Structure 1
């Protein structure tokens, strides 16, 4: 048999592979074409006169969260890099929402999907992943999800999507209707069209990186503020630059906060950070849910608190302007956790008094002293003369 006789089957196989990738890309782009952009909702805050706050409602995506954008970008990135092939098993480490969205895109392409998640993830998210055709692989130790994802991908001959590494580079941060560009387009006819602040919590850090890069690329006079959960290293990494930071506990605010520094978190791309106690994040979730008339997730509560920190500084300086933050997902996924009184009681997170205090803050501008002494600020939000990571009240 001559060497040339091997070339025809190899060529045919390569062409079939390229045809599959082209069809996969077409399906994802067609899905995007069928989708409208998410809404930008004005949030009335009478206690902050002259400061307009908006919620970018990412819960209206087909998979119900901000992570729909990330999953789409990750699949496009993997396809164009040649990492996915017909029949590949897609594996992802996730606390839930990214896995729901990736399961959706895997099913769109006819690929098996396995989500490696902490065992504490909400039952609603597990059902949502399974509804999309995915399979859940639960891990007791949340710090083990990375290694277990790599092991499973190797065992199954599949591809580990690895959102925590690729989130910041998979998205076209210069435009292409990314979330930052969408915000600026939607704000164009508002009273203060260029936001003074854009606020976003950190899960991978990819959305924060996109915000920071786009703001700089567009030469906007906008600060980008990161919000961090209680059990997370991002804030301390922002202060110290020590990428070796680790903690043994997973975040109690699903979707945000990490026990290690992730490659997609770029501290120099943002201007400020706020670290919020979990109790107050859940209280903010409750107060905001009541104000909107529909439930939201706990990470949205974290975002709201950080946005209020930005509003506080603006009011102290006599500034008027706008702040945009994210409504990451709806509260329906957390009916048996954050929105369940018995669950909150068991976790020591009952926060009725804190939620009432935050409702009063939004309505009347009266700050709860307990919040001011328990959060931590850094970067452009830090008051002159205040110690690093703290704030004078």
Structure 2
């Protein structure tokens, strides 16, 4: 055999061996990880309607993006895009980056997160604590282009926004939808009326919406988004070129443009939630559950109450399931900081009163 061909063949065997080892490590990590809890709450104003919150913040990397990050690494490995010793990069506002940094460290790979400079300091510190590097971009819309620059220099671009809706097996394999439905098996309402989630990359809503149809369930999917987000406009008009009509302070959702993973046709309803309501919702969750969760979890809570109020008005019974997306400690200097809220002119008091009144009365939360 020609010596050059023999060397190429040996390199191929070595690379395949590393890929097999990496896949084994990811499988071992998944086997070690317990499923996240599904927490049940009932409220005086909503007799006959149960609320369930899936605590995705309990993952080792602290958010629901732990599932996505594992799937993105698996997707890159199994498609031959990721090799041993190769640098890894992705564009992220925080939670996905933290989870990707966690898995990169597990596999012994360097990782760079391209993040908007306005990302919560706690998230930046978490990426760095896991050995990752943060490339901060002043203009949030430019994170994709900056990640592409890293990829052009040889890094493997995990591309959460481009691949989220296909990297996860929506038919099962312990995805978040299968986990939720399985955990409800022994409940009084084993098939919920609604599942509520936000849209960051589009992967979670696509997975849940597809799975509900695949299982032939009557459960409907509601997307909870900041007021004026690109998803809101895109979903209403089925417009893949829609852009946000206003910015949001809620990290992880409310994308400024429609992303490739936004699958509109699997979503039954979209609820717009003002930032002040999301912040009030996040603070209220701490009182209800004893732990802090991020702004997108607050967004979900507000949408759940809006849906429940409509169910109550129609005389319907049932259950609503939503997600607790990430740990609130990451927002200690932003959403849970009085000075930061004042600087951004966020007054959560009217919405706090409205949400608490909704819990007691069963009415749609409307601030005075």
TM-score, normalization: structure 1? 0.91
What SS is found at the alignment partner of 1:193?
coil
Residue in 2 that maps onto 1:63: 61
Maintained 8 Å contact 2:278/2:296:
yes
What SS is found at the alignment partner of 2:336?
coil
In the comparison of the two structures, how many residue pairs are matched? Answer: 368
What SS is found at the alignment partner of 1:369?
coil
Q: CA deviation at 1:364?
A: 2.6
From 114, 117, 142, the equivalent of 1:116 is 114
Q: CA deviation at 1:329?
A: 1.0
- Distance in 1, Cα, partners of 2:107 & 2:228: 36
Deviations 1:246-281 (A, max 9, x none): 248653111111111001010001111111111111
Structure 1: give runs of 5+ residues left out of the alignment: 372-393
Residue in 2 that maps onto 1:39: 37
- Distance in 1, Cα, partners of 2:245 & 2:2: 57
Residue in 2 that maps onto 1:128: 126
Structure 2: give runs of 5+ residues left out of the alignment: none
From 155, 160, 172, the equivalent of 1:158 is 155
Residue in 1 that maps onto 2:97: 99
- Distance in 1, Cα, partners of 2:245 & 2:269: 25
- Distance in 1, Cα, partners of 2:194 & 2:348: 28
- Distance in 1, Cα, partners of 2:159 & 2:221: 25
Residue in 1 that maps onto 2:144: 146
Maintained 8 Å contact 2:198/2:253:
yes
Maintained 8 Å contact 1:226/1:272:
yes
1:306 aligned to 2:303? yes
Q: CA deviation at 1:231?
A: 5.0
From 186, 200, 214, the equivalent of 1:217 is 214
Q: CA deviation at 1:356?
A: 2.2
Q: Would you identify which runs of 4 or more consecutive aligned residues in structure 1 move more than 3 Å? A: 247-251, 366-371
Specify whether residues 314 and 21 from structure 1 end up closer, same or farther in structure 2 by C-alpha distance, changes over 3 A only: same
From 199, 203, 207, the equivalent of 1:202 is 199
- Distance in 2, Cα, partners of 1:273 & 1:368: 16
What SS is found at the alignment partner of 2:8?
helix
Q: CA deviation at 1:141?
A: 0.4
Maintained 8 Å contact 2:230/2:245:
no
From 204, 209, 229, the equivalent of 2:226 is 229
What SS is found at the alignment partner of 1:273?
strand
